[in-house]
Structure 1
Amino acid sequence: MFESAQPITVTAKLLNVFSVLFEDSSALESIDVTTIIPRILHIATNYAEDVGPIYDGTGKTNRTRTAQGSSRRIRSKTTTKRDPNLEKSYLPEIQCNCCKILQKISQYEKYTQILILNGVEKRLLDLLSKTSDISVQIAAARAISVCARNNSVQLRLTSLGGVGEFARLLKIDNSESRSTALAALAQLTRENAIACRELKRAPNTLPQLVACLKGPEVDVLNALSIVSELSNDDKAREDLHHFDIVPSIVEALSSDSKRILESLALTLPRVIVTDHEVESFEQTGGMVGLLKCLKSPCLKVRNAGAFASALLSENALAARLLYDSGALEYLCLMKSAEDHHSPQVDVAIRNMLDSNVLLKFAMTGVLDFSDITGDLFYDVGRLKASERLKGLECYANETRLQTMPVWLLNIREPGTDEPPAFTLPVDVRLRSFLKSVIEKVNAFEDLKEKVLNLAKEVADFFGGPITRQEAFGCVDWQAVAKYRCLHSTNIVPIGLPIRAGYRHRALLFKFIADKLRIFSTCVCGEYSIAYNVICTKKSTETPQSYVVNLMDSPGALYVTDSKEASQYCRI
């Protein structure tokens, strides 16, 4: 079978039969593949008298075997004269069928070692580089892309210059050869930094790769796989941006293909990293495209969108732009479907909130140890996911008395407000109190002493110790309403009320503790209950967290899991 002495027409027909026969995996089981592989490789790459050495996977190397196992070749008694013109006409068909057979055999892992021993990667790469027939090039490239799924073959192909060959094939003005080259490069660059480096060096390859993002689905998917691997290198990622990859990605985000949208979303965090790249992505409509993934009816696309949001939102600018685009609302909707949502949904929401302490407090009612309030903070009450956090200028113009006031903590110097045309209320009482309390508290060395005195000062600022029952009705709402009407604003300085309860005290404690570098939390719980937690640690003791009493016994500290802490934090 496949003897070089037989007419080339017979060989061509036999190969065609085998390429069809091997569509059925059971056919491979009934044939001695160890004999077939070297003969097929020989015919594909060098149709001559000698078939070449055979490696059968047993560790033995034989010349062409006969049915009796002899190394001596049995020649046909009747010799057919070879016709060079006939061979030339049939050779492309023969080589294509050989490549198809090798491609099908390569799909089975148990034959991989035999293929490697027979130098499949070198033989096929030689065929690809030497043939001028485009159909043979395509067939060889397809076989190589399947073989390259094996890591050893992948690395061997890289060392033999396979990346350069496929980069050349990528630039041919033929859609089929381009698709085949992309598929092969996607396999070669998979977790292969050397191949990525070689591809980046290939002349005019990156712009061609970016252009493939506008092609058919299979080309886009393979191009995205390559882009994802290339983007692990900062310089390669910068080069991709130089060739305008962002507009191509954004255009692809308008696709109706679920597979493209999923792959794009998974690739985005590798391509969009720096603030400049985030800005470029936003300016070309990328955030709107990502929002499309989060709104998709396909679960895989939604989860991929959540994955992209989670990683992108590690960048503070991206987190803000994602929130502005409305991503948080859809992430919260995904979270509500607890049996379906990806864990990345929680990460995306957390990153988005962590990037904006004002938003985090409005959405969750929680400020953690790492959340620093700064010199300007305001409390708008609890926001729903469908509601948006607005700027102070917008809240100032909401003069409807049926809305809750926005409580302002502002110690900025007058004239530093933004925008310049909008002037925030100056809280003279808060500024004076802050200066005084910092001096008093800093006089103590021990952290617990500092917390005790700060708690007493905050309680005195809001009318001194009060009981739980008094706390819920102690604010003089008439004075607050008068201020809002007088100044035509919905923003009220937190220092305006002479008496206040849980929320005001807990928020002011956190605000001042941040200035004193006392790490604390502020948690607004159920039924207007709010409390602070501090964490203490000495070199000789383990960390211990305490709930701080700001109400009936200011300065008292309760271990967080104690009965007293539970009573203070809950009704």
Structure 2
Amino acid sequence: MTHKSRKDSEPLSKEKFGLISIESKSPETAVLLLNSPEEDVVVRACEAIFTFAEKGDENKVSLLGPGALDPLIRLLSHASRAVRRGAVTALGSMAVNSDVKKALRKFNAIPSLLLKLSPEEETVVHEFATLCLSHLSKDFTCKAQIFDGDGLPPLIQLLSSPDPDVQKNSVEVIYNLVQDYKSRLAFHELGGIPSLLELLRSDFPVIQHLALRTLQSVTTDPDSRHTFREQQGFERLMDVLSNADFHDLHAEALQTLSNCLSDSQTVKLVHKSRGVARLVQFLQTPNAPDVQSAAVDCLTKVAQSPESLRLLHEEEIEKVLAELLSVEDVSVKTSACQAVAAMSFHPDSKDVFRDLGVVPTLTQLLRRDSLKLRAAATRALCGLSHGDPLNALSIFNTGGHELLVRQLYETCPKTVASSAATLHNMAAQEAVRSSILSHGAMRALAETLRSKDTAVLLSSSLCVAELACEEDARAELRRAGGLEALVRLLHSQHQELLKNACFAVKVCAGDEPSAVEMCRLGALEVLQEMTRSERHRNAFSELALNSLLKSNLSVKYSLTGRLAATDIITSGFYDPGKARTGHRVLTLEELIEQPLNQHRPVFAVFTGTGQRNDESADDGVLQMLIKEAKENVVPLTTEKEQYAALARLVSEAMGGARAEDHLHEFPWTLHLSELKFHLQSNVVPIGSIRKGIYCHRALLFKCLSDCIGLSCSLVRGDYNRAWNEVVLFDEDPSNTQRTPRRSRFILDLMHEPGRLLGVDTPAALQYQTI
């Protein structure tokens, strides 16, 4: 394409300026003549400036010194057509240079240039005005000026110009503009798509390329895709793709088709027109990686429904993709990985990919430098290993688990999310899980749980839940600060993430240290609130709450006032009293650190046999009571006798039997105050209490029962009341046909130690209340 309407001038030497009527040989003089009142002089000056500028960038820049731009921009509005034509051609020629473009922005030339797009102007004016705008529109600020100046409507009109140069420049400006969301929407609303489709019929490849590139950008919008389809855009693309002479357009046509395939209606059109077979042909195009890559992207979009997956499987697309994974071009490899990920939703395809050795190939791609390739390969491995133990094992056997753990430290969220998800898929197998943990997976996941990316958090929390079934894994996560990040996720407003976080908390609460730490971090209060909320409650919130309480019996007793027979007290248990609404239950360590106060003591159990290594008090008396219970209570023949004997042992250890009407004479409060002062601590070991009433005796009885294998519950009442409930079976040895009767009793530890009080009887109720 050449410029049409200007007269060719005699070539000038680089050193000399074109001769004008006054025989000037300098650009400075020509610039001065732009201000002449004589139209003919101005026109000749513009033509001379144009000719001079056409000779190269050095000449274009040299025109800035004398100040050529300001008068040329003013002349765009001149009454004379010839002057306007001369000014716009000169500016269009100069605007190619980057320094000139910067200067044009300062002179605010765009409004004047947009006025030159009107239908009344000559074709040559349209040509050079759009040429100038095509260069300026590459700048963000200039794009905004063109859009705000209503430049799109005349540009769309000029797409139908009979002049190919005008078409080419206009579509280039539009292409630059529609990179921005607002311009894309406006272009569609202004009805620009039909004009673009017409340009696909152009005789000039450069116009066809620009039209396709513009369509590729525009069709990222759903409404534009709908219009594109209604205007037979799909058929136009297929015409291009079916024409071997248009091979240079195939890559861009496929990229546009890939956008359109985001809509199910276009996918149906592909199936209806046997387009899948055509796409497969493009996959095998030799020495055309851009075409292959775009064709694979299209197939990936097609593979979004079970029916499409079945059809692609019948076309044996897996074999083609396996071959593409071995080509040299990185973009083709990347697209092939994405297609494998899409095809992995078809169960039969997973088996075929495994048989073709695709899993080891993908694993090796995790070692490549390309971030996009690694991300795509990881996603493919994630899909292939989901619900498929054999593929998961194949990743493990090729060392993929170690590479995936490393990738948890990547900066790309997609890679991190897919890596964590793949590790989750693999960790269901115990041997694989242990190896994953040996490479520091929990330390890495502790970092990913701090991510701000939702996909990363979703997969990381699930992976933590899968790995945390191992006690060592929970300890590593705890040391790495992962529990704090996990508890923070309980505040999420994302329902799926909230469910995953609750699931992970449930698993992580499998040991006391982790449960205590999460309670310290506020997990208990959040979960309590969650279970009361219709909106936030989920399938795992209550399970997580129960799991926390089960592993932290001290908090459970403080909150609920009850320990079941299956809740076994161990060393380190403490009774801080009934929890106050809105206040967190402090840990034993925090309570020990508090200065001496006037409040009720905290009663702690130190048996010397637990797993805690931070005990600050040695309860030798309790250990002697445990020894005595094992020697004197355990050997008794019936549970009834054992309960009675243990009750008497507890009573004797805490001041003996006391009549209820003389209980006010029992100096237990003074005794506890003296103990606190003696220990200089608010935490009192349960064995050190020599004068105890209901709550102290019930706790000691529960502790001793759990230590020797007897079954009993612990229930807190009001006003320092607490009691133990036991279950006995009444069997008649002479009647083998009768089912043993199950009876529940409360043990009297205070007034008649060892007496069994039937639950809900007046005697039991009197024991439980004042």
Partner of 1:533: 725
Post-superposition Cα deviations, 1:533-568, rounded to whole Å, max 9, x if no partner, equal 112346963572412241566545455467775665
Counterpart residue number, 2:359? 163
Output aligned runs, 1:169-184, within 5 Å: 169-184=365-380
For the structure 1 residues 96 and 514, does the alpha-carbon distance in structure 2 shift closer, same or farther, using more than 3 Å as the test?
closer
What SS class does the counterpart of residue 723 from structure 2 fall into? Answer: strand
Contact 2:343 2:349 in 1 (8 A): yes
State the match for 1:146 in structure 2. Answer: 342
Residues 572 and 606 in structure 2, CA contact (< 8 A), matched pair in contact too: yes
2:565 aligns to what SS in structure 1? coil
Judge which range, 335-344 or 112-121, deviates more: 335-344
1:354 match:
550
Could you report, residue by residue, the CA deviation over 1:501-553 in whole angstroms, capped at 9, with x for unpaired residues?
Answer: 43133223323333443211111134433221112346963572412241566
1:75 aligned residue = none
1:34/1:114 contact within 8 Å kept: no
The residue that corresponds to 2:541 in the other structure is 345
Q: Deviations over 1:4-59 (max 9, x none)?
A: 996252695475665455343223435554733334323423x5xxxxxxxxxxxx
SS of the residue corresponding to residue 528 of structure 1 reads: coil
Give the direction of change, closer, same or farther, for the CA distance of 1:311–1:108 in structure 2 (3 Å limit).
Answer: same
Where 1:534 maps in the other structure, the secondary structure is strand
Query: Any conservation in 1 of the 2:289–2:332 contact (CA below 8 Å)?
Result: yes
Corresponding residue of 1:54: none
1:98 corresponds to: 295
Residues 198/27 of structure 1: CA separation in 2 closer, same or farther (3 Å cut):
same
Structure 1 unmatched runs, 5+: 48-86
What is the CA–CA distance in structure 1 between the aligned matches of 2:643 and 2:270, rounded to whole Å?
83
4-13 or 262-271, larger mean C-alpha shift? 4-13
CA contact (8 A) 1:533 1:545 kept: no
User: Does the 8 Å contact 1:455/1:548 carry over to 2?
Assistant: no
Q: Which residue does 2:318 correspond to in 1?
A: 121
Determine which of 696, 701, 705 is the counterpart of 1:504. 696
Q: Which residue among 108, 116, 122 is the counterpart of 2:305?
A: 108
Mapping for residues 470-509 of structure 1, pairs under 5 Å: 474-485=666-677, 488-492=680-684, 500-509=692-701
Which residue of 1 is the match for residue 488 of structure 2? Answer: 292
In structure 2, distance between residues paired with 1:374 and 1:272: 23
Q: Aligned AA for 2:319? A: K
Aligned to 1:25: 264
Equivalent residue runs for 1:5-20 within 5 Å = 7-9=244-246, 13=250, 18-19=257-258
Distance 1:165 1:561, change over 3 A: farther
Check the 8 A contact 1:214/1:252 in 2, yes or no.
Answer: no
Please show how residues 54-453 of structure 1 align to structure 2 within 5 Å. 88=287, 91-129=288-326, 131-202=327-398, 206-207=402-403, 210-211=406-407, 213-296=409-492, 298=494, 300-335=496-531, 337=533, 339-373=535-569, 378-384=574-580, 386-391=584-589, 394=592, 398-400=595-597, 402-407=598-603, 424=618, 427=621, 441=633, 444-453=636-645
Q: How many residues align?
A: 519
Aligned to 2:275: 36
Shift of 1:223: 1.4
Distance (Å, rounded) in 2 between the aligned partners of 1:260 and 1:145: 18
2:517 and 2:724 mapped to 1: Cα distance? 31
Q: Return the alpha-carbon distance in structure 2 between the equivalents of residues 557 and 137 of structure 1.
A: 77
Q: Is the 8 A contact 1:521 1:534 kept in 2?
A: yes
TM-score (norm 1): 0.76
Distance in 2, Cα, partners of 1:140 & 1:511: 63
Distance 2:624 2:402 in 1: 61
Unaligned runs of 5+ in 2: 1-237
Task: Give the distance between the partners of 1:297 and 1:426, measured in 2 at CA.
Answer: 50
Instruction: Look up the SS of the partner of 2:586 in the other structure.
Output: coil
Cα drift, residue 200 of structure 1: 2.2
For 1:166 and 1:126, locate their aligned partners in 2 and report how far apart those are by CA, in whole Å: 12
CA contact (8 A) 2:591 2:683 kept: no
Instruction: Give, as a single letter, the amino acid of the residue that structure 2 aligns with 1:283.
Output: R
Equivalent position of 1:72 in the other structure:
none
Note if 1:548 corresponds to 2:746. yes
* One-letter amino acid of the structure 2 residue matched with residue 528 of structure 1: N
For the 8 Å contact 2:310–2:346, the answer to whether it is kept is no
Q: State the SS of the aligned residue for 2:298.
A: helix
Query: Taking structure 2 as the reference length, what is the TM-score of the superposition?
Result: 0.58
For residue 69 of structure 1, what is the aligned residue in structure 2? none
Q: Which amino acid aligns with 1:447?
A: E
Q: C-alpha distance in 2, partners of 1:178/1:144?
A: 14
1:423 Cα deviation after fit? 5.6
Once structures 1 and 2 are overlaid, which stretch shifts more, 167-176 or 517-526? Answer: 167-176
The one of 651, 654, 657 equivalent to 1:464 is 657
Identity rate, percent: 22
Is the CA contact 1:213–1:223 (under 8 Å) kept in the aligned structure 2?
no
SS in 2 for 1:388: coil
Structure 2 CA distance for partners of 1:227 and 1:125, relative to 1, 3 Å: same
Find the aligned partners of 1:24 and 1:406 in 2 and give their Cα distance.
Answer: 66
Cα distance in 1, alignment partners of residues 606 and 329 from structure 2: 75
RMSD: 4.0
The offset of 1:239, in angstroms, is 3.8
Q: Which stretch has the larger CA shift, 501-510 or 470-479? A: 470-479
Distance in 1, Cα, partners of 2:262 & 2:629? 83
Is the CA contact (8 Å cut-off) linking 2:602 and 2:682 kept in structure 1?
yes
Structure 2: distance between partners of 1:152 and 1:449 = 66
Q: Equivalents in 1 of 2:613, 2:283: separation in Å?
A: 74
Task: Name the CA distance, whole Å, in 1 between partners of 2:395 and 2:428.
Answer: 13
User: Contact 1:376–1:412 (CA<8 Å) still a contact in 2?
Assistant: no
Contact 2:468–2:508, Cα closer than 8 Å, also in 1 = yes
State which structure, 1 or 2, has the greater radius of gyration over its C-alpha atoms: 2
Residue 426 of structure 1: CA displacement?
A: 5.7
Cα deviation for residue 340 of structure 1 reads 1.8
The answer for the alignment partner of 1:53 in structure 2 is none
Deviation at 1:220, TM superposition (A): 1.8
User: Could you list the per-position Cα deviations for residues 438-471 of structure 1 after superposition, in whole angstroms to 9, with x for gaps in the alignment?
Assistant: 666556422223334544565565553644x766
Give the number of the structure whose residues are more often helix, by fraction: 2
* Cα drift, residue 147 of structure 1: 1.6
Which gives a bigger RCO, structure 1 or 2 (Cα 8 Å, sep 6+)?
1
State the distance in 1 between where 2:619 and 2:368 align: 68
Question: What's the secondary structure of 2:670's corresponding residue?
Answer: helix
Change (3 A) 1:174 1:325: same
